[in-house]
Amino acid sequence: MIENEPMLRMTGIHKQFPGVKALSGVNFRLFPGEVHALMGENGAGKSTLIKVLTGVYTIDAGRVDMNGQTIAVHNPQEAKQAGISTVYQEVNLCPNLSVAENIYIGNEPRSLGRIRWKEMNRNAERLLQDRLHLHIDVTRTLQSYSVAVQQLIAIARALSVSAQVLILDEPTSSLDQSEVAQLFKIMRKLKSEGLAILFVTHFLDQVYEISDRITILRNGEFVGEYMAQDLPRIELVAKMIGKELSLLEQLPKQSGEGAERCAEILLEASRLGKRGSIEPFDIRIHKGEIVGIAGLLGSGRTELARLLFGADRADEGHVQLGGYRGMMSSPRQAIDLGIAFCSENRKTEGIIDDLTVRENIILALQATKGWFRAISRKRQDEIAEEYIRLLNINPPAPEQLIRHLSGGNQQKVLLARWLLTEPGLLILDEPTRGIDVGAKAEIQKLVVTLAEKGMSVLFISSELEEVLRVSDRVAIMRDRRKVQEIQGGAARQSEVMQAIAGGEQR
Amino acid sequence: MIKHRLFWPLCVLAGLLLFNLIYSPDFFSIKMRDGHLYGSLIDILNFGSPLILVAIGMTLVIATSGIDLSVGSVVAITGAMACLSISRSADQNALMTILIAVASALLLSALLGLWNGLLVAGFGIQPIIATLILMVAGRGIAQLITNGQIITVLSPKYQYIGAGSLFTLPFSIFIVAVMFAAASLLTRKTALGLFIESVGCKPTASRLAGIRSRTVMLAVYMFCGLCAGMAGLILSSNVSSADGNNAGLWYELDAILAVVIGGTSLNGGRFYLTGTLIGALIIQTLTTTIYMVGVPPEITLVVKAVVVLAVCLVQSDKFRGLLRGRGGRGKAGNYPANREVNPHA
């Protein structure tokens, strides 16, 4: 089935953004008649590689060969002409145009400038029937069909320009089980017709179901290319996260004494879930306990935290916290109940750019007090000074605008904001992402100290080592489901990684 | 000093006043007549007071990264409402009549503001569209109230609001002073200002920090409506009549301009009430100047536009940088203008 010569070959691709090396020395091969999964954690360089391939970015160094000839694509139009078509994560078609119009927009069949509607509709119908087995009325508007069908129509649009390479960037993220099955059926058919498909997804089950070959990237670097059947799940995960399995077994255990001191239950969630976001889960958090959440990106880690905090509203289940039993309807309610939440999106959901460090620190406390009972300026200054010293925020200037601070220091300001509200439960979603090693260690230390003082912490991170180091207990998420819980004392990285990968265990 | 964000607006204001002084030397003279002070400067403050009021409300709305296009219509509606209830009463000069008229008109303006706030915060309609509805419909409502006529009232007591004087100064100046002080105190002595800036800068982050952004928005739009209502009372009382068609026409644009000249960004976030005050004074001085110089009516708007353009360019860092680059002289320091650390000090 797989020929010896790759249809597309990318060699030694380098791409630099100001201050960041997005891709360095990445190789990628794509053979006709195969589905090739591109894997990697957030920031690994997957989307950069795709954008390089589709001409959105130009490369700094490296070579792209297509069918044995070196090509240079400078914009998406040129990529299309070279036979590379892309279907992006969000369907970017026009919902209020007809299906046929959506497929042929930009290259409608014309005579004397007039669009030949009948021919266009006929072509669209034939294209959908022959290649995608989709029998629908192409004159109806796109929005009258389900997201799954829209996704297929987007694929049809990509195919309409005689594509040889089809890039599917997370096509399944908004599809349900049966829709995914339908999509895969069509992908298999296209594959058998000789199309080369590049497939990006976060769902491991799907990778193994459909892919022939897997390329793994990590931190913008090429980790390796493997045949799917030769690469066990656990090794895939290990390579994505960047820890060799054999090495992990030897690592000494670092945490685990905390389990004894957590007797009293602080929060208990039962069957809490939200359709399309996370399957119903149970979780129990004791007083003074650090519960780690491990799992790959998109596994439902963040969704779990957002439901507990009321940032998203659950549609089933309830939370028991103190005397309260019910759902969290808003962040405000959660805060009043003593929950604090540091979002993973520091830039968009954390800091308020235009405000000073001092104002950012007191914001949540002031919000709980209401607008009328203002914290006096003198008290604000004291608080700011105190937390700047406590968390070692640099530069120690309370009147500096927060946007001028580095990522790590912004994170510390946000921590200060929440510590000030003296929460019973502190939820930290990727608190150490994108910050330097020193600040990272400081934050980890702080978390442990806080727990010793009786604060419960929910610690979410994609760095497994970090989760295991700080947590008393680790809950593992996979494919939007909480799959397992492992006591910190017993949790070995390999065991957790096995659970993250799933599959072979059962 | 040059780094201060009020530097350029104050320069423009000073420049306009200087021009007037050269053009007509008695511009700054203030005379006492029948126990009242008269003079061009007093006129600017007096005639500018409705604009200042509207602009104060607008500043807060813009700080939440919104905009309120309906203020001009609210001006017309409240004026019409007050005049209607006075004209219907038996004794147009009775204190009770005036109080009821004023109170009901102000209540109505606050409700209209609340309506805007509901559309924006409750239903998530974009502010420009949400308030456009009332901008258009409001003119109609005002004309419905006045029945398409100009309602004239004969009430010296009502007239006092916009044309009376207290301690030798026009009464409207005191209204403005009180409202300005109230707005400053409310936003800087309570946490309301912090919440407004936070919501205007990052709504999602503010929600996650526990701020009830919806309540903040409702309050701000209501306050803006109330400010426009007061402006409407001053305007209609000044001429003792209500004109549903023309009262407060294009006020929203002057108000937005005043806010922007004052240094508040249309992107929301930080806001500067003092800046707005100066911005409104610039616009009013400009209007007065144009009348005084005797610019032909056909080109009044063009002259105004040119001056406003100049004001905006003078405030633009890029433009000033360009001038400096070309001139090759001027200040050596490459300073980030308008960037200050502590606006609350």
Query: Tell me: domain A250-338+423-506, CATH 3.40.640.10, correct?
Result: no
Strands, sheet with A265-274, edge to edge from the N-terminal-most edge strand? A278-286, A265-274, A316-321, A324-326
Residue of B nearest to A402 (CA): B341
pLDDT tens, residue by residue, A200-250: 887 777 888 889 999 988 878 888 888 888 888 878 887 887 765 554 444
Chain B residues with CB inside 8 Å of A372's CB? 190-191
- A139-172 burial, b if ≥16 CB within 10 A, otherwise e? eeebeebeebbbbbbbbbbbbbeebbbbbbbbbb
pLDDT bracket for residue B183 (50, 70, 90):
very high
Nearest to B190 among A353, A359, A374 (CB): A374
B274 vs B264: CA distance, rounded Å: 10
Q: Which long-range contacts (CB under 8 A, 24 or more apart) does A174-177 make?
A: A174/A147, A174/A276, A175/A147, A175/A148, A175/A151, A176/A148
- Closest-CA distance, A220 to chain B, in angstroms, reads 30
Separation in Å, CA A83 to CA A64, A156, A309, B344: 13, 14, 46, 59
- Closest-CA distance, B269 to chain A, in angstroms, reads 6
pLDDT tens, residue by residue, A352-364: 988 888 999 999 8
Q: For chain A of 506 residues, list the mean pLDDT of each consecutive stretch of 10.
A: 72 79 85 88 77 85 85 82 80 81 80 82 86 82 80 82 83 73 85 88 82 87 87 81 54 44 77 85 88 82 89 87 85 90 85 89 88 86 89 83 80 89 90 70 84 89 80 86 77 75 58
Q: What is the pLDDT of residue B220?
A: 93
Nearest to A366 among B191, B204, B269 (CB): B191
Tokens of A158: 């990509």
Query: Would you call B324 an interface residue with chain A, using a CB distance cutoff of 8 Å?
Result: no
What would you measure as the largest C-alpha separation in chain B, in angstroms? 72
Helical pair B213-239 and B192-201, crossing angle rounded to 10 deg: 110
* Contact in structure between A141 and A100 (CB atoms under 8 Å): no
Q: What is the pLDDT of residue B234?
A: 92
Chain A residues with CB inside 8 Å of B216's CB? 371
Nearest to B205 among A336, A351, A370 (CB): A351
* Contact in structure between B268 and B200 (CB atoms under 8 Å): yes
The reply to whether residue B194 touches residue A355, judged by beta carbons under 8 angstroms, is yes
Q: What is the pLDDT of residue B114?
A: 94
pLDDT tens, residue by residue, B25-60: 777 777 777 777 777 788 888 888 999 999 999 999
The reply to whether residue A343 touches residue B208, judged by beta carbons under 8 angstroms, is yes
Per DSSP, the three-state class of B129 is: helix
A86 vs A178: CA distance, rounded Å: 23
Residue with tokens 């442990």: A448
Beta strand pairing status for B165-166 and B169-170? antiparallel
Helical pair B156-163 and B213-239, crossing angle rounded to 10 deg: 110
Q: What is the pLDDT of residue A19?
A: 61
B310 vs B59: CA distance, rounded Å: 22
A306 vs A312: CA distance, rounded Å: 6
What does the domain layout of chain A look like in residue ranges? 8-247, 250-338+423-506, 349-422
A102 vs A416: CA distance, rounded Å: 50
Q: Please report, in angstroms and rounded to a whole number, the separation of the first and last CA atoms in chain B.
A: 15
A191 vs A35: CA distance, rounded Å: 7
Nearest to A371 among B190, B202, B208 (CB): B190
B264 vs B246: CA distance, rounded Å: 28
* pLDDT(B337) > 70: no
Residue of A nearest to B192 (CA): A371
Q: Which fold has domain A8-247?
A: Rossmann fold (3.40.50)
Residue A265's DSSP bridge partners are: A286
Q: What is the pLDDT of residue A438?
A: 64
A38 vs A200: CA distance, rounded Å: 5
Phi, psi of B162 (to 5 degrees): -105, -15
Phi, psi of B68 (to 5 degrees): -125, 105
Residue with tokens 């589709």: A54
User: What is the four-CA torsion angle of A246, A248, A249, A253, rounded to 10 degrees?
Assistant: 170
Residue with tokens 């892309």: A86
Task: Pick the closest to residue A319 from A270, A265, A264, A266 (CA basis).
Answer: A270
The reply to whether residue A374 touches residue B212, judged by beta carbons under 8 angstroms, is no
Q: How far is CA B70 from the centre of its chain?
A: 12
- Closest-CA distance, B55 to chain A, in angstroms, reads 22
Q: Which fold has domain B7-325?
A: ABC transporter involved in vitamin B12 uptake, BtuC (1.10.3470)
Residue A86's DSSP bridge partners are: A167
Tell me, yes or no, if the pTM score tops 0.80: no
Beta strand pairing status for B150-152 and A165-169? unpaired
The reply to whether residue B204 touches residue A349, judged by beta carbons under 8 angstroms, is yes
Q: In the predicted model, what is the mean pLDDT of chain B?
A: 83
Give the mean pLDDT of B219-239.
92
Residue of A nearest to B188 (CA): A374
pLDDT bracket for residue B181 (50, 70, 90):
very high
Query: Would you call B202 an interface residue with chain A, using a CB distance cutoff of 8 Å?
Result: yes
The dihedral through the CA atoms of A487, A493, A499, A504 has a sign that is negative
Query: Would you call B341 an interface residue with chain A, using a CB distance cutoff of 8 Å?
Result: yes
Amino acid at A429: D
Q: In the predicted model, what is the mean pLDDT of chain A?
A: 82
Query: Would you call A423 an interface residue with chain B, using a CB distance cutoff of 8 Å?
Result: no
> What is the number of residues in chain A?
506
Residue of B nearest to A368 (CA): B210
